[in-house]
Structure 1
């Protein structure tokens, strides 16, 4: 059970960092951090719609993994004392 808890904690840390980076890369409505890293230039290209959809999908998958690891850690903490 201890190994599972450590794996979930590492997974939570990694997904937290990746979610932060992916959310910052999303195309903003009025510019912002995504324009600073070249997000504004990609809107002139023809493939920006596909790239944005893929970024959305990856972000949603990572968010689901993040939520699952939080729930898993909560369940481990709840039943560990019993």
Structure 2
């Protein structure tokens, strides 16, 4: 169980960093906090619809992996406590 826990912790760290990066790659939709920090200035850098859809799919996939990793770690922790 220790090896699986270490692997899941590594996956969690990698997906956390990747998920943060992917969320920051999304373009702002206007209004709110994105305009306060210069989101309106970069409106000429719009990505194509296909690229945005692929970025959305990748973000959702990484988010699901991140969530499943957390559930897996919680299950390992729960069953390790019961056995010991």
Once the two structures are superposed, residues 31-75 of structure 1 have per-residue CA deviations (whole angstroms, 9 ceiling, x without a partner) of 847x6xxx64442xxx61000000000000000000000000000
1:42-81 equivalences in 2 (<5 Å): 42-43=45-46, 48-81=48-81
Structure 1 vs Structure 2 CA RMSD: 2.2
Q: Does 1:19 align with 2:13?
A: no
Which is bigger in relative contact order (C-alpha 8 A, separation at least 6)? 2
**1:29 corresponds to:** 29
Q: Highest Rg: 1 or 2?
A: 2
Gaps of 5+ in 2: none
Return the TM-score normalized by structure 2: 0.80
Moved over 6 A (4+): none
Q: What is the CA–CA distance in structure 2 between the aligned matches of 1:42 and 1:54, rounded to whole Å?
A: 17
Return the TM-score normalized by structure 1: 0.81
